[in-house]
Amino acid sequence: MKIGVLASQGAFAEHILALQKLDTEAVPVRLPGELKGVDGLIIPGGESTTISRLLLAYDLMNEIISMARGGMPLFGTCAGMILMAKHISGNGAPSLRLMDIRVKRNAFGRQVDSFETELAIPALGKKPFPAVFIRAPIIEHCDDGVEVLARLADDTVVAARQDKLLVTAFHPELTDDLRFHRYFLDIVSGKRKK
């Protein structure tokens, strides 16, 4: 199995390291040709507007959309979740528009309002998941067909799955807990069918 990690900007190195810890080949993706042969793609956190501009500048936007519509699994964390959403509240920046969710950027405020919490995520097992939120978005609405994987204590949706598309508002790559990456690999391999 070979997983691409979008390496335009953001926390891509941490995703690559997490995949390597799971004995999975991980390759940075900056140009369309580097998508060749990947079985899945992770779109990391970072700054969504900057990543969007780089996707357009390097002709990656249409290639990723085409591959995802053809069945390639995608995992978006934080900014990656924003880019995968069909609807972004108050933002007209180009995005991949793949997942039937509406997100709100920077929902918790500025950098100083970043926080960590433990989340109950039944799909990952009984042990709580250590979630790191940095200028994080939230999912304001999910259409039918979107499975909510995690909510905060106030019922705010912060992780979801739709078929082979997986998103988190937080940064699993910034923890030592590899369960979300393993979950994504199970989607890629077909072990976790919807």
Marked catalytic residue, from 14, 15, 78, 181: 78
H/E segment holding residue 169: none
Is there a catalytic annotation at residue 181?
A: no
* Cross-strand partners of 94: none
**Contacts of 19-26 spanning 24+ positions with Cβ under 8 A:** 19/181, 19/185, 21/178, 22/178, 22/181, 22/182, 22/185, 24/185, 25/1, 26/2
Marked catalytic residue, from 34, 116, 141, 171: 171
Which two tokens mark 181?
């990456």
Marked catalytic residue, from 14, 15, 173, 181: 173
Is there a catalytic annotation at residue 173?
A: yes
- Distance of alpha carbon 23 from alpha carbon 182, whole angstroms: 11
Is there a catalytic annotation at residue 171?
A: yes
Residues with a catalytic annotation lie at 78, 171, 173
